[in-house]
Chains A and B, each alone.
Chain A
Amino acid sequence: MAAKPNPTLDIVYIALFAALTAALALFPPLTLPVIGVPITAQSMGPMLAGAILGARRGALAMVLVIALVAIGLPILSGGRGGLGVFAGPTVGFLLGWVPAAWVTGLLHELGWRQLTSISSFTHAAVGGIVVLYAIGIPVLAFQAGLTLKAAAVGSMTFIPGDLIKAALTAMIAVSVKRAWPIIRPAAEPSA
């Protein structure tokens, strides 16, 4: 495979991962027995896009998902879509997908050569949980008029599900790196 940049291929990857994230909404949600909070597959989208496409393309795929939601496609889990989503209290957890995918992607690029399921899990958790919640919680507090603490406590119920998603992302990222690697770290000498 040629290592030279191919802008058309990049656009195809971005569109494919935007569509894949939309398709993840079709997976039936899993309900954790103890906590009772439904886990939707869709929020794996930003972690997967970052871990497989890298920072730039992963973040752009999430920008495209958000733009598709904005123009009215009902592609979010539960069939939500349209500009109404952006007036809702949890919009930060949607907008946060862009930096979440970017950070997940950047960490994967930096640690690409020595990628293990453990390091990939850490990268996905930092990008897809720490970064995402750092944006989602203040927006929730602002939109809903809650204190930061109340918004944070309310959001904690989703952490176990997100940890499971980070683990799944890590297993997928490591397998995909073996089968069909897309990320090419900048430091790598051109083949």
Chain B
Amino acid sequence: MSALAALLRRAPAGAKLAALAIAGTGVMAIADWRVMVDLALLAALAFRLAGCGTDALGRQLRPMLWMLAALFLVQGWLVDWATAALVVARIVTLVLLAALVTLTTPAEAMIATIERLLAPFVRFGVDPGRVGLAFSLALRFIPVIGEEAERVREAQAARGLGHHPLALILPLIVRVLKSAEDVAAAIEARSGHDDPGRAAPSRSVW
């Protein structure tokens, strides 16, 4: 593992996010497209040095490829090619740096950082514990709803209802809404009182 990989994996999530914010502001000050393209190449190199691999690099850039190509052509045509290269290289650099932070930080560390960043907002009625609960619940529900959607789809196909989007989404939503009260009751039963902040899975943040 390279020194960069070790550094990125050990650095606290908050520090990485702060560094990313500074980089995001910093690249706006660069006006020379050649410098920007070099930075984009450096970001790609850092991706490899961090041990994230070429696969991860492709996964980040492939979904944006058409968008970036269109942007390059439109910019080159409407403004000039130097600006086109500058804008595209800037987007690629930031996307890669941001992906680097995400790939080297576990989701739990990110959630813990979010809860800590929310601490100053307690006086405005924000409850970090509830926010943490919302995150944990959503992480739990995503695979469940995916499975549920698959089940509804199979049931509709069996009844010959085919692929009509309404036939799929409507029963899914009604099932989801009906389950909500049971889930809420279960959370309150387990926490023993009606303060949902305490019901969050025990995870020491402070």
User: Which residues of A are in contact with B by a Cβ distance under 8 Å?
Assistant: 6-9, 11-16, 18-20, 22-23, 26-27, 30, 41, 44, 48, 52, 60, 64, 67-68, 70-73, 75, 78-90, 143-147, 150, 154, 168, 171-172, 175-176, 179-180, 182
Return A122 CB to nearest CB of chain B, in Å.
19
Return B14 CB to nearest CB of chain A, in Å.
13
Contact residues of B between 75 and 117, Cβ < 8 Å to A:
75, 78-79, 83, 87, 91, 94-99, 101-103, 105, 107, 110-111, 114
CA A8 – CA B187 in complex, angstroms?
Answer: 8
Residues A176 and B141 in contact, CB atoms below 8 Å apart: no
Residues A83 and B99 in contact, CB atoms below 8 Å apart: yes
Q: Apart from A7-B130, A67-B135, A88-B64, what 20 extra A-B contacts exist at CB < 8 Å?
A: A8-B188, A12-B137, A12-B180, A12-B184, A13-B180, A16-B137, A18-B138, A20-B172, A22-B138, A22-B145, A27-B165, A41-B169, A72-B105, A82-B60, A83-B98, A84-B94, A87-B94, A87-B98, A88-B91, A144-B91
Task: Verify if B178 is at the interface (C-beta below 8 Å from A).
Answer: yes
Of the candidates A8, A89, A179, A180, the one whose C-beta lies within 8 Å of that of B71 is: A89
Known contacts A8-B187, A64-B135, A176-B174: does B166 contact A168 (CB below 8 Å)?
Answer: yes
Of the candidates B71, B130, B178, the one whose C-beta lies within 8 Å of that of A11 is: B130
Residues B91 and A89 in contact, CB atoms below 8 Å apart: yes
Interface of B is mostly: helix
The interface on chain B, measured as residues whose beta carbon lies within 8 A of the other chain's beta carbons, has a size of 63
Contacts of A144 in B (CB 8 A): 71, 74-75, 87, 91
Return A11 CB to nearest CB of chain B, in Å.
5
Contacts of A68 in B (CB 8 A): 135, 138-139
Contacts of A80 in B (CB 8 A): 63
Return A158 CB to nearest CB of chain B, in Å.
13
Contacts of A145 in B (CB 8 A): 75, 79, 83, 87
CA A18 – CA B136 in complex, angstroms?
Answer: 12
Contacts of B203 in A (CB 8 A): none
Of the candidates A12, A26, A150, A175, the one whose C-beta lies within 8 Å of that of B183 is: A12
Residues B145 and A168 in contact, CB atoms below 8 Å apart: no
Residues A22 and B142 in contact, CB atoms below 8 Å apart: yes
Residues A15 and B98 in contact, CB atoms below 8 Å apart: no
Return B177 CB to nearest CB of chain A, in Å.
5
Q: Which 7 A-B pairs have the closest CB atoms?
A: A87-B94, A83-B98, A19-B141, A15-B137, A82-B102, A71-B110, A72-B102
Residues B101 and A19 in contact, CB atoms below 8 Å apart: no
Return B165 CB to nearest CB of chain A, in Å.
6
Residues B177 and A180 in contact, CB atoms below 8 Å apart: yes
Contacts of B10 in A (CB 8 A): none
| 10 A–B contacts from the bound complex (CB under 8 Å) | A6-B184, A11-B196, A15-B134, A18-B141, A26-B149, A48-B173, A71-B114, A71-B135, A87-B95, A143-B91
Which residue of chain B has its CB nearest to the CB of A65?
A: B138
Residues A23 and B145 in contact, CB atoms below 8 Å apart: yes
Residues B142 and A78 in contact, CB atoms below 8 Å apart: no
Known contacts A7-B196, A23-B145, A145-B79: does B60 contact A12 (CB below 8 Å)?
Answer: no
